[in-house]
Amino acid sequence: MTGNAATVLAGPPAATAVIAAAARQAATLERPPHLVIVRVGDDPASVSYVRGKAKKAGESGLRSTVHALPETTPSADLLALVASLNADPDVHGILVQLPLPPHIAEEPVLAAIDPDKDVDGLHPMNIGRLWSGRPTLAPCTPAGVMALLEHYGVPVAGRRAVIVGRSQLVGRPLAGLLLAADATVTVAHSRTRDLGAVTREADILVAAVGRAHLITPDMVKPAAVVIDVGINRVVGDDGKAHLTGDVHPDVAAVASALTPVPGGVGPMTVAQLMANTVQAARRQQSQTSGVTGDLVR
């Protein structure tokens, strides 16, 4: 066991602050923001995440509806549901839980969601806005990482950020957000040569690959801030399944600050979904009353 020098950047207090701000804004609206979550199939992780999101919505003063569709749902039926949610003025946010079953192509489904209701920030229009540095609905996990850094006063501008992982849900959009916040950004991935040499450059190191304990102490610059986005289900010495991150626990002896798993970025993801839903509802409700709504973040 090595000594734990790093500050623990706990998710729940930061998530509570994000949700409190969203709830205050929600309370000023004519109608409570309404989030609709669509889940296809019964992947246990998805069932558990969706349940958590719906529960948190209720606690945040939001309405939520979950559509649980069978695993065998044809792509056309899912697209028809999305079209009806787009057309429903009573729905402000739409989230289609990923991954979808293999017979349904994700891209056309994400592209079918009204960009103004796309609280996941995965529509090509919103990805384009993000990468051109314009206001947008940003994907919840990357936006949650930014909110966590802000909550704990971690400076970003001018600092070197290295993201390990280039997924559409996390790595890529987080690169866009860190760039918009004036970090110098590197995205490393499975084909990166000498990964350790790249990660050792980081003032802010983000691990988002989904490989348990990939990031070891020798890969971390002393006093770096390390953000662990990995959620890996592993069987421990006790024979029980538990969650662990992409960052080896011994990194705590090298880093100045580190997010735990669970209880780090996960709760921020859920909080940011509430914030995005309120933002989308504000914009839609102010448009119907003739006032221009600014998308700010």
Ligand X SMILES: Nc1nc(=O)c2c([nH]1)NC[C@@H]1CN(c3ccc(C(=O)N[C@@H](CCC(=O)O)C(=O)O)cc3)C=[N+]21
CB 279 within 8 A of CB 243: no
Min dist. Cβ of residue 73 to ligand X (A): 16
- The answer to whether residue 240 is catalytic is no
The nearer residue to ligand X, 221 or 280, going by C-beta atoms, is 280
Tell me how far apart the alpha carbons of residues 29 and 266 are, in angstroms, rounded to a whole number.
27
Q: Which stretch binds ligand X (CB under 6 A): 153-161, 220-228, 263-271, 277-285?
A: 263-271
Antiparallel, parallel or unpaired: β 241-244 and 232-235: antiparallel
For the chain, what's the residue count? 297
Q: Which stretch binds ligand X (CB under 6 A): 48-56, 60-68, 158-166, 217-225?
A: 48-56
Tell me how far apart the alpha carbons of residues 120 and 116 are, in angstroms, rounded to a whole number.
11
Query: Any contact of residue 263 with ligand X (CB under 6 A)?
Result: yes
The catalytic position among 114, 120, 228, 246 is 120
Tell me how far apart the alpha carbons of residues 252 and 2 are, in angstroms, rounded to a whole number.
8
CB 206 within 8 A of CB 227: yes
Residue 286 marked in a binding site: no
Q: Which of 116, 81, 93 is nearest to 33 (CA)?
A: 93
Task: Quickly tell me which residue has 């003032």 as its tokens.
Answer: 203
Judged by CB under 6 A, the residue of 269, 277, 279, 285 near ligand X is: 269
Residue 60 marked in a binding site: no
Judged by CB under 6 A, the residue of 60, 64, 97, 126 near ligand X is: 97
Q: Which of 73, 7, 1, 17 is nearest to 268 (CA)?
A: 17
The nearer residue to ligand X, 40 or 251, going by C-beta atoms, is 40
Using DSSP, state whether 243 is helix, strand or coil.
Answer: strand
Min dist. Cβ of residue 243 to ligand X (A): 6
Query: Any contact of residue 29 with ligand X (CB under 6 A)?
Result: no
Q: Determine the residue with CB nearest ligand X.
A: 266
Query: Any contact of residue 48 with ligand X (CB under 6 A)?
Result: yes
Query: Any contact of residue 78 with ligand X (CB under 6 A)?
Result: no
Helix ranges (H only) for the chain are: 11-27, 44-59, 75-87, 106-112, 124-131, 140-151, 171-180, 195-199, 265-288
Query: Any contact of residue 120 with ligand X (CB under 6 A)?
Result: yes
- The answer to whether residue 120 is catalytic is yes
Query: Any contact of residue 52 with ligand X (CB under 6 A)?
Result: yes
28-56 exposure pattern, b = at least 16 Cβ within 10 A, e = fewer: ebeebbbbbbbbbbebeebeebbeebeeb
The nearer residue to ligand X, 96 or 285, going by C-beta atoms, is 96
Min dist. Cβ of residue 297 to ligand X (A): 16
The nearer residue to ligand X, 203 or 230, going by C-beta atoms, is 230
The nearer residue to ligand X, 65 or 192, going by C-beta atoms, is 65
Judged by CB under 6 A, the residue of 188, 267, 282, 284 near ligand X is: 267
Vertex 41 angle, CA 37 and 42, to 5°: 95
Residue 166 marked in a binding site: yes
Annotated binding site: 165-167, 231
Annotated binding site for NADP(+): 165-167, 231
Judged by the rule CB under 6 A, the positions of this chain that interact with ligand X are: 48-49, 52, 95-98, 120, 140-141, 231, 243, 261-263, 266-267, 269-270
Known catalytic residues are 53, 97, 120
